[in-house]
A and B are shown apart, each in its own frame.
Chain A
């Protein structure tokens, strides 16, 4: 099984000359140097970079949550100026509402969009099943483990069936063991839903394990330093992390950060 983008290119997210400069009292701080990046439909792209390289800024720009200083982002041909319907976002913390059950938290996505909850009961049930949260739909978030909370957040990001899933270090707050399990889970969910995924992470193994392509960003102001095609068979098993090719990829990517000085961790 080969990565989808190797076949016919079918660009889904198109980023052209994108820059972001933050204005502050002391002057303007460039956060992103011009970035060009194409992401194909159904592709899984991971972005790694040192902390403060603007990778979260990039994600917020793609999500339409921040205005770009210059350049364009197009998703499915449409210009992104503000949040569009076709994306779902997962943040580092699950940001679940404590007064809503797991099911109602997922439904928030539907209610906030002013759609009819009844039309999505089936989608919620299917997602809960895919994410292994069956039987927990009437629990409150604080009754669940961190990994389960994040899985509920992923369900919430997918319930309105967007074609793009944006994830901002979604497993950064989890312990190493849970994190690896979540990586395997996420791959399974991605397989089941066929979304275009943009994942921000500072874990190189996580990026290599999950992604079709890994984008390496340089430190501030951020720019694309290198892009690696991860040519590993799918579906990937956690045991692949011991595979010499996997190790090669992680070593090659890590070298960028040694050259730059540090990778936060």
Chain B
């Protein structure tokens, strides 16, 4: 009985649940590979992948860094360009009608198709990868920030006006804080897409980074290595996402989704 109860209490913890699910999936994966005798060049068993991860760890870690830098650079650029751009769009109907359609248009261009151009323009360094990560990451930031800035209560703006506050004061004290939850929503989507963007950049012109590792492993039918690289990429996305979640937690503890714990603290 106590075993059952302790299993239950472990499953009851928020941090454990995703790990538990991962374990279940891994076991199922392993069983499927064994039962249906799937050859490793189609789907490698998880044990192979883990083996590869451990064996190739120094190389994988070395190749992770350029991808991480490109991702962070692209994400930072997304935030630095995307948020002010969204402010501009939200500030005027005229600007919105000029900019928004072009933005949506540009977003619909497949990045993988234009990525080779960046190599032509910017060479083989980290810059074209940053641009690629930025192009994928900026759109959700703009959309979410525009939404956040525009969905402010009309009465709230009337109130600010009745207090005779200038546009800057209204923006800093009322508009921006009330848009923060939305902005963070956009940033969280952006960071995961920035990872994808960085890899896309590495696909087309690179001799380093996890995207390059994926490319090479794919060419050699080295599926365990490919899966290992994919695993690291996913973990990178998860960790970056969690960091943002933590920042959100610190910055907007008042948001409806967090009120229970917040009220508990005060």
Contacts and interface: CB of A to CB of B under 8 A. Distances in A.
A65 B256 CA distance: 30
Contact of A85 (B164, B165, B255, B263): B164
Contacts of B17: none
Contact of A109 (B156, B163, B263): B163
- In the complex, which of the residues B159, B174, B259, B266 has the most CB atoms of chain A within 10 Å of its own CB atom? B159
Contact of B164 (A99, A113, A140, A143): A113
B254 interface: yes
Interface string A113-139: 110000000000000000000000010
Interface residues of A, number: 26
Interface of chain B, main secondary structure: helix
A187 interface: no
Interface in A87-125: 87-89, 91-93, 95, 97-99, 108-109, 111-114
- In the complex, which of the residues B158, B162, B170, B177 has the most CB atoms of chain A within 10 Å of its own CB atom? B162
Contact of A99 (B161, B169, B170, B252): B252
A4 interface: no
Nearest to A88: B162
B141 to A, nearest CB: 21
B169 A112 contact: yes
A191 interface: no
A22 interface: no
Given A98-B254, A99-B254, A65 B162 contact: yes
Interface string A65-99: 10000000000000000010101110111010111
B207 to A, nearest CB: 48
Given A95-B156, A143-B263, A89 B177 contact: no
A63 interface: yes
B266 to A, nearest CB: 8
A99 B173 CA distance: 10
B158 A112 contact: no
B178 interface: yes
Nearest to A99: B254
A108 B160 CA distance: 9
B151 to A, nearest CB: 14
Contact of A112 (B173, B178, B252): B173
B155 A111 contact: no
Contact of B165 (A60, A87, A113): A113
Contacts of B170: 112
Contacts of B174: 97
B259 A142 contact: yes
Nearest to B254: A99
A63 B162 contact: yes
Interface string B146-157: 000000010110
A37 B169 CA distance: 35
Nearest to A139: B266
Q: What interface size band does chain B fall in?
A: 20 to 34
Contacts of A99: 177, 252, 254
Given A91-B159, A95-B153, A95-B155, A112 B164 contact: yes
B165 A112 contact: yes
A95 B152 CA distance: 10
A142 B161 CA distance: 24
Interface string A50-65: 0000000000100111
B177 to A, nearest CB: 6
Contacts of B155: 91-93, 95
B158 A91 contact: yes
Contacts of A89: 158-159, 162
Nearest to A64: B162
Contact of A140 (B156, B169, B254): B254
A112 B161 CA distance: 9
Interface of B: 153, 155-156, 158-165, 169-170, 173-174, 177-178, 252, 254-256, 259, 263, 266
Given A93-B153, A113-B163, A143-B263, 19 more contacts: A63-B158, A65-B162, A83-B164, A87-B162, A88-B162, A89-B158, A89-B159, A91-B155, A91-B159, A92-B155, A98-B254, A99-B254, A111-B169, A112-B160, A112-B163, A113-B164, A114-B169, A138-B266, A142-B254
8 contacts: A65-B161, A83-B161, A83-B162, A88-B162, A95-B153, A97-B177, A113-B163, A114-B165
